[in-house]
Amino acid sequence: MKAFTYERANTPAAAAMALAAQPDAKFIAGGTNLLDLMKLQIETPAHLIDVNRLGLDKIEATPEGGLRIGALVRNTDLAADARIRRDYAVLSRALLSGASAQLRNKATTAGNLLQRTRCPYFYDTTKPCNKRAPGAGCAAVGGFTRNLAIMGTSEACIATHPSDMAVAMRVLDALVETVAPDGTTRAIPIAEFHRLPGDTPHVETTLRAGEMVTAVTLPPPLGGLHIYRKVRDRTSYAFATLSVAAVMLPSGRNRFAFGGLAHKPWRVEEAEKKETPAAVAEAVLAGARTTPQNAFKVPLLGRVLASIFAQAKASA
């Protein structure tokens, strides 16, 4: 871990100003991903701004009938919130399937969204990685790819986004609220928040320089049956080999988002119009680029969808 200076910010404005004042500054909240990466010098901020005391830890109803989740709401608290459990069960389920209780107690909503993508080569600084050193090349291509992406990949990067929470937020069409150093705010649809790698895989989100996530807003509840199915070799405390966030609606206009497939939570709205799981799977996976190690994700996705359709039918 490179030496850094540290300060504690007490208001969002002070945090934004502190960030602007220091070229290599980063916010730290839960720290569960950032410190992991700093220890390996994959992240090397010169200055840390502790944002834990900004008060962004409330979950409030919106006038539209949705919920506004403060950026610093801990994953445990979000999953356990009575309104989330009742009206957005897919989000609660997704959160609870992620990491461990200890990590969920620490990790924040914004931190979860902003966690770096996963790839064992990204984590090993002796190997080339376009994320760590743009232009260095990608060691994962042609390497151990079993857990890596098959959708939206590029020659430069095939890493996957590890978040479960973000997959559920994607299926719920959440909005990510931000504030810029000049005080302007905006709401970014979650679909546009994470980027595909393209030839700049080191840029993982569409956040602008100095911009800070302040909240995530959920639209009014969709109703329906909420399912989060996480497939993994180990029963718990493992990243998804594949995950599916599903909201099964009586209208038949179901929604599906996928984890473990791509550099971002993966959702193909067009595919949701299809009536059979096989047709949905085919449309979701259009353009898949697989390796012999991860090609199994293609049939797996179809089978998981089939079991979700069956579950929805059984509970109807």
Q: Which of residues 27-46 bind another protein (CB under 8 A)?
A: 28, 30-32, 35-36, 39-41
106: number of Cβ within 10 Å: 17
Nearest to 304 by CA among 241, 222, 253, 262: 241
**Interface with another protein includes 215 (CB under 8 A)?**
no
Could you give the 3-state DSSP secondary structure of residue 87?
Answer: helix
- Tell me which residue has tokens 């801990």: 74
**Interface with another protein includes 270 (CB under 8 A)?**
no
Q: Which of residues 107-136 bind another protein (CB under 8 A)?
A: 120-121, 123-124, 126-127
**Interface with another protein includes 271 (CB under 8 A)?**
no
**Interface with another protein includes 92 (CB under 8 A)?**
yes
Termini Cα distance of the chain: 53
Total residues in contact with another protein, by rule CB under 8 A: 66
- Tell me which residue has tokens 């569409």: 206
CB neighbour burial string for 193-205, b if at least 16 within 10 angstroms, e if fewer: bbbbbeeebeebb
Query: Which of residues 128 and 198 has its CB atom nearest to another protein in the complex?
Result: 128
**How far, in Å, are 168, 250, 311 from residue 226 at the CA level?**
10, 12, 11
| In the complex, least distance from residue 276 CB atom to another protein, rounded to whole angstroms | 12
Please give the residue ranges that form the binding site for another protein (CB under 8 A). Answer: 1-6, 8, 28, 30-32, 35-36, 39-41, 48, 50, 52, 76, 79-80, 82, 85-86, 89, 92-93, 96-97, 99-103, 105-106, 120-121, 123-124, 126-127, 139, 142-144, 146, 231-239, 241, 296, 299-300, 303-304, 306-307, 310
